[in-house]
Amino acid sequence: MRIKVWTMSNNVKYATNSPSNSRYWEMVSLSLFLLAIFLGCAQDKGEQEVASVDPNDAPYAESAAPVDDAPAEPVLIPQQPKLAPDVATPQMVPQSSQGEFYPDGSKSASQPQYAPRSFAPEAPATSPNLQRSSAPKMSQYSQPQAMPMEVQQPQAMEAPQAEPRMMQAPAEMQPMSAEPQPEAVQVEEAIEEPFDVVEVFYGTDRAPMVWPGGVLPHKFHALLPAITCVILGIAVALLFTKFKQYIIAGLTMVVAASGAVVVGQEGWIQYHKYDRFLSNDSVVYGKEQGELQLGTCKVSIPKSHQAGQLESPSVVHWEFKEKPEDHVMLMEVKSKEEQEFFDMLKVRVEESPGRDLLIFIHGYNVTFEDAARRTAQITHDLDFKGAPVFFSWPSQGELLGYVTDRGNSFWTASHLKEFLLKVHQHSGAQSVHLIAHSMGNRAFGAAVESLAQDLEQNQKIFNEVILAAPDVDARVFQEKIAPSLTGLAQHVTLYASQNDVALMASRAVNGYPRAGDVGANILILNGIDTIDVTKIDTSLMGHAYYGDNTTVISDIYALMQNARMPIQRQWLRDISSPGGMYWYFDPQYNNSVTRTPASPPLR
């Protein structure tokens, strides 16, 4: 090959001026290309033949001699080492009598460089981790035919131990399995509900509420009072604006909006409440008079419940719906036939340690729902193990329904007497405790008078009777109710307060002192312990201390659990008066839980 070089105008150029040179380079390039293709095909063919070899036919890595030339003495097969989670070690398997061949046809007895190939998975491998950790299929019964029986037996015994270790996937691969994990099921079962459910028994002479067709009105009706409040507020504000009273107009709009929120929240909660009752076939009792009915309720008590509180949705917290994990909520109401009711009540009493039950009789301005919630709250706060029961008479549940409630409290006396007598006869309880509040003492007092006439003299059907803020004429209580009550009860306690606003209003309406008053007319009677709660009750109305004040709750707990006399309760102090001696709470125990062994485990 000859190359000419020439120079033109100070520019150096290299060129090939012979056509034969071009053909020469083309032939060289083509030869190299064909040689590369040939070498690549040969390499691929060799890899395919090596990969197609059966893993069980691979030769020993430590011996190049065929099996036929092995010594006559038994040779133990080395035990398979434990595989690491991510690295696979070469497999030690017996040599097949067929031998192994290279792509060129030569036979070789040992190829340790291809031993890791025996760990390639047979299934389609899509993950590098699966390729690296999977093990070949091995059968404990597949032994070399040329080996003695002495060698095969140990291998068959060791194979079941080695195979699970080889086939087990690493820990990081186990979540890929479709098998359910037992740990997850156990964690799910360990989850607790954020509230407790208290089952309460009831008796009532309220008439059930019925909606036409069993369907509630549209939810728009629940918001209608709120819309009306807003419209009136806007109208009044525009009127003040016309007279240029802009500040008053603005305040009017603020008041109207606040009132709309409060009224709207109440209506929205009531709508969802009735919708819930209809969905679970609960009975809804209203404020009309009806026949005596029996049944059970379920009330939720949140885990975050505080003693003495009836947690309810609050506008301040912007809550517009009841939630069992946050509120003391009436969940369902089921009516029962008399036989079924007392069978259930008897079972509940027998399950309690003291075979006792507690009856609660509510007072004025209380709905059936409020009575059920209060009964469950008292039962929970007192840690009462017996059967909780309440009797609900047709109170209007309205602040302006006092006159109607007063008439219904006397009307219900015959039904209450029947209910108390049946509970005494069919419940199987050894101890019956009773708490009567406010105007409920009128119904209870009238029922007691009738019971005393029907029962034998001094037949004790009640254990502890607690009269809280009794809205009863003091003289009627002293002359008629007290003698009959002390003959039917083991022990009677009367709680009274000088700050009771409700009894002040009742005294103004009725014109006579009430049995729950404190002052010059405080009642001190034989067989009844009178306790003044004035110094510890700091609530606004001073009327619901029996369920709101933790110190009073502790005192009630001590009465029911230990039946201790007032002198034995360290938070009480005695005081003398012209009418005799009564007791009052030491202020240092105000709204505090006593730390004595008899104190309840308040939450």
pTM of this structure? 0.67
**H/E segment holding residue 103:** none
- Name the most confidently modeled range: 68-82, 139-153, 391-405: 391-405
| pLDDT tens profile 210-229 | 876 667 777 777 788 889 99
**H/E segment holding residue 199:** strand 195-208
- Is the pLDDT confidence value at 573 over 60? yes
Q: Which residues of 544-571 are buried (b: 16+ CB within 10 A; e: fewer)?
A: bbbbbbbbbbbbbbbbbbeeeebeebeb
Q: SS3 string of 426-470? A: HCCCCEEEEEEECCHHHHHHHHHHHHHHHCCCCCCCEEEEEEECC
pLDDT-based confidence at residue 589 (cuts at 50, 70, 90)? confident
| pLDDT tens profile 255-276 | 999 998 988 888 888 888 888 9
The pLDDT score that the predictor gives to residue 26 is 63
CA-nearest of 309, 396, 360, 311 to 200 is 360
For residue 69, give both structure tokens.
Answer: 């030339």
Q: DSSP letters of 34-51?
A: HHHHHHHHHHHHHHHHHH
* Type of residue at 498: Q
Q: What is the mean pLDDT of residues 476-496?
A: 94
The pLDDT score that the predictor gives to residue 181 is 55
The pLDDT score that the predictor gives to residue 51 is 45
The pLDDT score that the predictor gives to residue 493 is 96
For residue 603, give both structure tokens.
Answer: 């939450």
- Is the pLDDT confidence value at 128 over 90? no
Q: What percent of the chain shows pLDDT beyond 70? A: 65
CA distances from 353 to 74, 347, 349, 387, 601 (A): 76, 12, 8, 11, 17
Q: What is the DSSP letter of 109?
A: S
- Is the pLDDT confidence value at 40 over 80? no
**H/E segment holding residue 413:** helix 413-426
Q: What percent of the chain shows pLDDT beyond 90? A: 44
The pLDDT score that the predictor gives to residue 84 is 42
- Is the pLDDT confidence value at 164 over 90? no
Lowest mean pLDDT across 28-37, 301-310, 332-341 = 28-37
Alpha-helix runs per DSSP H in 85-190: 128-133, 149-167, 182-190
For residue 460, give both structure tokens.
Answer: 């004790």
Q: Does the 356-603 domain belong in CATH 3.90.930?
A: no
> Can you give the residue ranges of every domain in the chain?
5-51, 55-168, 216-284, 356-603
The pLDDT score that the predictor gives to residue 38 is 60
Q: What is the mean pLDDT of residues 353-357?
A: 92
Quote the radius of gyration of the chain (alpha carbons, Å): 46
Q: What is the mean pLDDT of residues 439-450?
A: 95
| pLDDT tens profile 111-127 | 444 344 333 444 444 43
